[in-house]
């Protein structure tokens, strides 16, 4: 925890719960088969990239070759 006071700890727990619920909702909406930990790791890699989260986790359609236009594949290439 960053802060040691009761209010700081409560705030950090609330923020962690909100992030968990938002990621669970994104996982539900995008229907990808990843765990929440994998989603968090991907977000950590792209934390300064400005993009729509729903589009970021949306699985691609049929791809004939890997290109850098799709965010999830761009980090792999």
- Give residue-wise pLDDT tens across range 21-48: 998 998 888 888 888 888 888 888 887 8
* Structural domain contains residue 10: yes
* Structural domain contains residue 39: yes
Number of domains composing the chain: 1
| Higher pLDDT among residues 75 and 57, named by residue | 57
* Structural domain contains residue 34: yes
* Structural domain contains residue 62: no
Domain that holds residue 10: 6-57
As to burial, measured by CB atoms within 10 angstroms (0-12 exposed, 13-18 middle, 19+ buried), residue 57 is buried
* Structural domain contains residue 74: no
What secondary structure, in 3-state letters, does 19-65 show?
HHHHHHHHHHHHCCCCCHHHHHHHHHHCCCCCCCHHHHCCCCCCCCC
pLDDT in tens, 51-70: 787 777 776 665 555 555 55
Record the pTM.
Answer: 0.61
């Amino acid at each position: 925890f960053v802060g040691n006071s009761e209010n700081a700890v409560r705030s950090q727990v609330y923020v962690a719960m909100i992030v968990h619920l938002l990621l669970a909702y994104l996982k539900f909406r995008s229907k990808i088969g990843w765990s929440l930990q994998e989603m968090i790791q991907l977000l950590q890699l792209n934390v300064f990239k400005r993009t729509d989260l729903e589009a970021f986790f949306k699985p691609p359609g049929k791809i004939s070759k890997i290109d850098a236009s799709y965010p999830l594949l761009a980090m792999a290439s």
